[in-house]
Structure 1
Amino acid sequence: MLVFWKERLVFLAVPKTGTSAYEATWQTRASIAVLDPPELKHAPIYRYNRFFRPMFERTGGEDMETLAVVRDPLDWLGSWYRYRRRPFLDGKRTSTADVSFEQFVLAYMKGDKPPFANVGSQAKFLEPRPNGVRINHLFRYEHQPALRAFVEDRLSVTLDLPRTNVSPKLDLEISQEVVQRFRRKCAAEYEIWESGT
């Protein structure tokens, strides 16, 4: 999470949406850069609302706006799948080394997900709060020029983004039947993605 106090903007880091590259570029420009632990770095809107927003409001930041990036749901899961295939995780319950991508997606759709498929939800991460706190500026990962233009204008900067924390390339095969099941079962994921700019 990055806080740009003068510009009244908080960038919430949705996991697996390219936020590491933005953090690497913007962290020295930010007033506050929350890089660890992961629970705070990747604070969802409910955690922002509960802990950070009240602190900001008490110090004059009542008008802070939020920014986030959301990724095509299957592409997002593909990134998690590749990330969890790293040799570092071999033999651990969170490793996807011994499952296909289709098995991973099927496991993700279960109510009681196995550890390797328990990767959260973009829709839940960005879910508006009952008090009205929500993401003000939501950009699709696939529309980087729009995000870049917004940030460059808002922060009065020119961005030179490095590629960081990139998951290894893999062909991710999945049947159309499973794709359709996923789209039905995880409709909220598509709703939030389609609401982005």
Structure 2
Amino acid sequence: MLVFWKENLVLLAVPKTGSTALEGALAPRASMVLRDPPHLKHAPCYRYKRFLKPFFKQAGGQDPELMAVVRNPIDWLGSWYRYRTRPDLIGHENSTAHITFDDFVLEYCKGDPAPFANVGSQNKFLRINGGEIGADHLFQYEQWDKVIAYLEERLAITLKLKQKNVSPVMPLSLSPDIAAKLRDKRTEEFAVWELARRSD
């Protein structure tokens, strides 16, 4: 999470949406960088509203605007899957090294997935007050040019990104029937991603 005090902007770090690359480029410009622990760095909207927003307001700030990036759910899951195939996780309950991408997505579709597929929800990350989107500025990961353009204008900078925390490269494909099941079981994940396309 990055806080830009003068610009009254907070950049939320949705996992697997390029947040580490943005942090690397923008940390010197930010008033505050929340890197650790992970549950603070990746604090979702509801946790921000409950704990951090009151703190910032008491410190004399306004009500900061929130910005977030959301990724196509299939690509987002693909990034998680690839990330968990790395060698240092082999033997750990989170490892996907010996699991197919189809099986990973099928497990994710369950109400209580096994640890290797328990990767959270972009939709839940962004929702507050029983369904309202908590971010004021929501962008699709696939429209990265819009993300950069917005930040450059808002922060009056030229932004150059370097890839960080990148998942291992590997070809991935999802069976059509599994993709259809994902859309059926996790409709809200696709809805919030589509909503981002119509924002900003």
CA displacement at 1:58 relative to structure 2: 1.2
Q: Give the CA deviation at 1:64.
A: 0.7
The structure carrying a bigger helix percent of its residues is: 2
Percent of aligned pairs sharing the same letter: 53
2:25 match: secondary structure? helix
TM-score (norm 1): 0.97
Size of the aligned set, in residue pairs, is 197
Q: Which amino acid aligns with 1:85?
A: T
Partner SS, residue 54 of structure 2: helix
1:154 equivalent in structure 2: 154
The aligned runs of 1:36-185 (5 Å cut-off) are: 36-129=36-129, 134-185=134-185
Q: Residue 77 of structure 1 aligns to which amino acid in structure 2?
A: L
Q: 1:39 to 1:76 in 2, by over 3 A?
A: same
Query: Following the alignment from structure 1 to structure 2, what is the Cα–Cα distance between the partners of residues 133 and 31?
Result: 25
Moved more, 66-75 or 123-132: 123-132
Counterpart check, 1:186 vs 2:195: no
Deviation readout 1:92-139 (Å, 9 max, x if unpaired)? 000001100000000000111100000000000001235977100000
The one-letter amino acid of 1:52's match is L
> Any runs of at least 4 consecutive aligned residues in structure 1 with deviations exceeding 4 A, and if so which?
130-133
Displacement of 1:83 in angstroms is 0.2
Q: Cα–Cα, structure 1 residues 177 and 131, in superposed 2: closer, same or farther, change >3 Å?
A: closer
| Rounded Cα–Cα distance in structure 2 between residues aligned with 1:157 and 1:11 | 15
Q: Residue type matched to 1:146 in 2?
A: K
Deviation at 1:173, TM superposition (A): 2.3
Aligned mates of 1:189, 1:132 — CA distance in 2: 14
> d(CA) in 1 for partners of 2:188 and 2:109?
12
Which AA in structure 2 matches 1:106? L
CA distance in 1, matches of 2:20, 2:112: 29
Report the CA distance shift for 1:131/1:144 in structure 2 as closer, same or farther (over 3 A).
closer
Structure 1 unmatched runs, 5+: none
Residue by residue over 1:14-36, the C-alpha shift from the partner in whole angstroms, topping out at 9 and shown as x without a partner, is: 00001111000001110000011
Between stretches 172-181 and 68-77, larger displacement belongs to: 172-181
2:21 aligned with 1:3, yes or no? Answer: no
SS of 2:190's partner is: helix
* Contact 1:13-1:41 at 8 Å conserved across structures: yes
What is the TM-score normalised by the length of structure 2? Answer: 0.95
Partner of 2:142, secondary structure, is coil
Q: Is the 8 A contact 1:128 1:135 kept in 2?
A: no
